[in-house]
Amino acid sequence: MRQLFNWIAKIFLLTAVVSFAHANEINFSNVSLTPLEKSWALNADVQLELSPALEQLVNKGVTLHFVTEFQLTKKRWYWLDNKIVDVQRVSKISYQALTNQYRVTLGTFSLTAASLKQALAAVRTIEDWMVIDATAVELKQPYQAAVRIRLDTNQLAKPFQVNAINSKSWNLQSDWYRFDFVPMAQVPAIQVPTAQPAAQPSGAQP
């Protein structure tokens, strides 16, 4: 028990003395909505770094939960904006001591990574996340899309939640990244030709 408290105290001290400016800056780039057959998928790159305290936390076996939120709204002159889409996806990073690997969960998809750097790279890449159903929007109509990502500190153990409240280096949360979206004609699904049986030589028996 004393060892646990000593370790928690060490985490508190490390958080207090480390500058958190670089860790608290989360930015989006290469953000786009790609048309699929019956939906639009979100793609983006996220600039996200962990503070040394959070790196130690995950390496001690604590799972980090990141929540990515996406919203789509349509402006209305006579009332509040109409929220068309409001979805979120949870990404997790955990350390597996027995295999000395990291497990990454992206929604319903899971993978393993050899290092924390590789695990974090997977979380920083949003790829083919289907966020808009084709029936939810009208073609050639203007909408505003928004995306953000945050560390869900409510999933941490109680002692670490207290630390998260007192330290901004633990409160990783981006601002809303907003961009205009006008859905155009969707790209039809690519039809893969069915393989035809090879022609038999003349006179050959079937």
**Is 26:151 a contact under the CB 8 Å cutoff?**
no
Measured CA to CA, the distance from residue 135 to residue 183 in angstroms comes to: 11
Measured CA to CA, the distance from residue 175 to residue 125 in angstroms comes to: 17
- pLDDT tens per residue across span 67-91: 999 999 998 877 778 999 999 999 9
Q: Which of 15-24, 46-55, 166-175 has the lowest mean pLDDT?
A: 15-24
Sorted by where each begins, the domain ranges of the chain are: 2-181
**Is 150:174 a contact under the CB 8 Å cutoff?**
yes
- pLDDT tens per residue across span 182-193: 998 655 444 444
Give the containing element (helix H, strand E) for 14.
Answer: helix 2-17
pTM of full prediction above 0.95: no
**Is 38:133 a contact under the CB 8 Å cutoff?**
yes
Per-residue confidence (pLDDT) for residue 18, from 0 to 100: 38
Which of 54-58, 158-162, 177-181 has the highest mean predicted lDDT (pLDDT)?
A: 177-181
